[in-house]
């Protein structure tokens, strides 16, 4: 019997995946529950609807999203081609009219003779060859079934992310390395500590309390209030810093900013308060602000968090966020090919794997489509070189520490170091990463073809 692949969710990842599979001569059933059942963030029944911003990111070749864009171009992505055809004037960014974009993707995917679109909610993982690309707002019933498959502890419903900064941009003449009570693994301390005087702390709290916040949407308020059984504990454990500060001006100094066990080597004293930064990737190019989940607008985060001593010129590669986000603990569950470790005919793609951002979701959709096709044809699965942006994203989600796994978007910090010993400025380094990714992908594609 002829194999047919089932793709669950006609969002960014699922639409790209379905088209890639169909182009390889394999039949696809694409299940999409909208417009009959909406997610709370989508508005239409279009495939690949952009839920928020209409920008797919910077297209400049020396930016992380620009690198991923050129990889997607090279890999013949349908959604990137449509976005580029529909592009609006937006300086260095690739922005689209969201309705034309969704409309065009719907048209192209619907017209493909090998794709059947089924407008229905899938409530359990089907048998056969399947890609799950149901996104951050996967329906309740399917989430429960995925949780049964992964184990409850490996499916998360809620994201409370702390900001991440580039290590190079931390001012180490102000910050210092140390572990609380000297208990760390590294000799000079596991954490970078940003020390506050009392006055600096007071100014920081004033700015934090006055800063603008992102209004919570209905489905996020539901989570916040713990209406969904069992989610209260997640919320209490990840209160946003601005909410902690509202409980009392010193609440942060006794909470995530407590200075106990730390001595500033420059003053020989314990600071009044401290923000600790923890290494976020293997090569120590990224650090996250420990316990700094926040719901401030990105603009406010930049302004307020740059008041933290040592972070005046910090480059934020991810801002703090709080929103509903269904994602699996990929390091325990997925291979870098996006195939499940526990069921060989099951693949995951898109935001549910822990890859963030429109482009990353399109890209994992594309790779899952290629790999599912190869799986059906009995061929080896593709694992892209880690020095490509897509390869490094897949490597990140499948091999990070499962105990602290958090979603990640394309950025230079997850790529392997250049290893040429040359000290370059940020721009030159970005260009070198971009050149290397392009070279490695072209070489890889030659052998693959
Ligand atoms: C509120 C919000 C705002 C965001 N804003 C941005 C942004 O501005 N920029 C950015 O880069 N990223 C943003 N993201 C993150 C992410 O890039 C997008 O969510 C992106 O659309 C994810 O792509 P996806 O294909 O994984 O999921 P989606 O595009 O959400 O597609 C999943 C599809 O699966 C369908 N579905 C769900 N459950 C079922 C089921 N049981 N049966 C059948 N169909 C089902 C859904 O209806 C949906 O169409 C945002 C996320 C959220 C939640």
Give CA separation, 233 vs 192, 294, 306, in Å. 28, 17, 30
Candidates 13, 6, 5, 4; CA nearest to 133 is 13
Contact yes or no for 351/327 (Cβ under 8 A) = yes
Q: What is the pLDDT of residues 17-52, one digit of tens each?
A: 999 999 999 999 999 999 999 987 788 999 999 987
d(CA 383, CA 444): 10
Residues 92, 95, 97, CA angle at the centre, nearest 5°?
Answer: 155
- The DSSP-derived string for 298-341 is HHHHHHHHTTSTT-TTPPEEE--EEEEEEEE-HHHHB-TTSBBS
d(CA 437, CA 418): 11
pLDDT value at residue 162: 86
Report residues whose beta carbon is within 6 angstroms of any ligand 1 atom: 8-14, 31-34, 39, 41-42, 51-53, 121-122, 133-139, 142, 323, 350-352, 356-358, 361
* Residue 267, CB-side half-sphere exposure with 13 Å CA sphere: 13
CB atoms within 10 A of CB 100: 14
pLDDT value at residue 80: 98
Walking along the chain (449 residues) 10 residues at a time, the average pLDDT comes out as 88 98 98 94 92 86 93 97 91 86 97 98 98 95 93 75 91 94 77 97 98 74 47 54 92 94 95 93 83 91 98 93 86 97 98 95 98 97 97 96 87 86 76 94 87
Residue with tokens 């930049």: 302
pLDDT value at residue 221: 58
Residue 48 CA: nearest ligand 1 atom is 29
Where does CATH 2.40.30.260 sit in the chain?
164-319
Residue 31 CA: nearest ligand 1 atom is 43
Candidates 35, 63, 4; CA nearest to 409 is 63
Residue 203 has φ and ψ, to the nearest 5°, of -65, -40
Instruction: Kindly give the distance from the C-alpha atom of residue 55 to the centroid of ligand 1, in angstroms, as a whole number.
Output: 15
Contact yes or no for 259/270 (Cβ under 8 A) = yes
pLDDT value at residue 229: 42
pLDDT value at residue 226: 46
Candidates 218, 200, 327; CA nearest to 271 is 200
pLDDT value at residue 98: 86
pLDDT value at residue 2: 66
pLDDT value at residue 232: 38
Residues 244, 246, 250, CA angle at the centre, nearest 5°?
Answer: 70
Q: Mutation test of ligand 1: which of 96, 160, 350 has the most ligand atoms closer than 8 Å to its C-beta?
A: 350
* Cis bond before residue 204 (omega within 30° of 0): no
Q: What is the domain class of 164-319 according to CATH?
A: mainly beta
Where does CATH 3.50.50.60 sit in the chain?
4-161+324-448
pLDDT value at residue 251: 94
Q: How far is CA 60 from the centre of its chain?
A: 20
Q: Mutation test of ligand 1: which of 136, 156, 157 has the most ligand atoms closer than 8 Å to its C-beta?
A: 136
Instruction: Kindly give the distance from the C-alpha atom of residue 131 to the centroid of ligand 1, in angstroms, as a whole number.
Output: 15
CB atoms within 10 A of CB 98: 19
pLDDT value at residue 305: 98
Residue 141 CA: nearest ligand 1 atom is 41
Q: In this structure, are strands 27-31 and 4-8 parallel, antiparallel, or unpaired?
A: parallel
The CATH number of domain 4-161+324-448, selected from 3.40.50.1220, 3.50.50.60, 3.40.30.10, 1.20.120.350? 3.50.50.60
Name 445's Cβ contacts closer than 8 Å, sequence gap at least 6: 74, 75
Stated pTM of the model: 0.78
pLDDT value at residue 153: 75
CB-based burial label for 383 (10 Å; 0-12, 13-18, 19+): middle
CB-based burial label for 166 (10 Å; 0-12, 13-18, 19+): middle
SS3 letters for 35-84?
CCCCCCCCCCCCCCCCCCCCEEEECCCCCHHHHHHHHHHHCCCHHHHHHH
pLDDT value at residue 236: 53
């Amino acid at each position: 019997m002829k194999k047919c692949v089932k793709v669950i969710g006609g969002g960014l990842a699922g639409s790209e995946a379905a088209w890639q599979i169909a182009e390889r001569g394999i039949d696809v059933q694409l299940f999409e529950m909208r417009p009959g059942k909406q997610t709370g963030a989508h508005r239409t029944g279009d495939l690949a609807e952009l839920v928020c911003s209409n920008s797919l990111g910077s297209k400049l070749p020396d930016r992380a999203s620009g690198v991923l864009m050129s990889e997607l171009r090279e890999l013949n992505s349908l959604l990137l081609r449509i976005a580029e055809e529909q592009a609006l004037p937006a300086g260095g960014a690739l922005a689209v009219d969201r309705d034309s974009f969704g409309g065009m993707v719907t048209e192209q995917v619907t017209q493909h003779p090998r794709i059947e679109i089924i407008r229905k909610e899938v409530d359990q993982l089907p048998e056969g060859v399947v890609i799950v690309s149901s996104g951050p707002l996967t329906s309740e019933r399917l989430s429960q079934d995925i949780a049964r498959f992964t184990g409850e502890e490996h499916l998360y419903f809620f994201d409370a992310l702390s900001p991440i900064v580039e290590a190079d941009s931390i001012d180490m003449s102000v910050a210092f390395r140390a572990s609380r009570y000297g208990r760390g693994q590294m000799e000079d301390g596991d954490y970078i500590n940003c020390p506050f005087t009392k006055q600096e702390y007071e100014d920081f709290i004033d700015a934090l309390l006055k800063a603008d916040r992102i209004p919570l949407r209905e489905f996020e308020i539901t989570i916040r209030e713990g209406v969904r059984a069992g989610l209260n504990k997640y919320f209490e454990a990840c209160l946003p810093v601005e909410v902690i500060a509202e409980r009392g001006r010193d609440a942060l100094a006794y909470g995530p900013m407590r200075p106990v066990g730390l001595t500033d080597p420059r003053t020989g004293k314990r600071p009044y308060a401290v923000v600790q930064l923890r290494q976020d990737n293997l090569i120590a190019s990224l650090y996250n602000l420990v316990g700094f989940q926040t719901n401030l607008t990105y603009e406010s985060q930049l302004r307020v968090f740059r008041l933290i001593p040592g972070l005046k010129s910090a480059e934020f590669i991810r801002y703090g966020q709080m929103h509903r986000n269904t994602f699996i603990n990929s390091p325990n569950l997925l291979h870098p090919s996006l195939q499940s470790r526990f069921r060989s005919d099951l693949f995951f793609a898109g935001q549910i794997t822990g890859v963030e951002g429109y482009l990353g979701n399109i890209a994992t959709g594309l790779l899952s489509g290629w790999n599912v096709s190869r799986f059906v044809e009995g061929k080896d699965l593709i694992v892209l070189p880690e020095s490509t942006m897509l390869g490094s994203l897949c490597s990140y989600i499948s091999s990070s520490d499962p105990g602290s796994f958090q979603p990640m978007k394309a950025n230079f910090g997850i790529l392997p170091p250049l290893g040429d010993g040359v000290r370059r400025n940020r721009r030159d380094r970005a260009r070198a990463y971009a050149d290397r990714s392009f070279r490695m992908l072209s070489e890889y594609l030659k052998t693959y073809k």
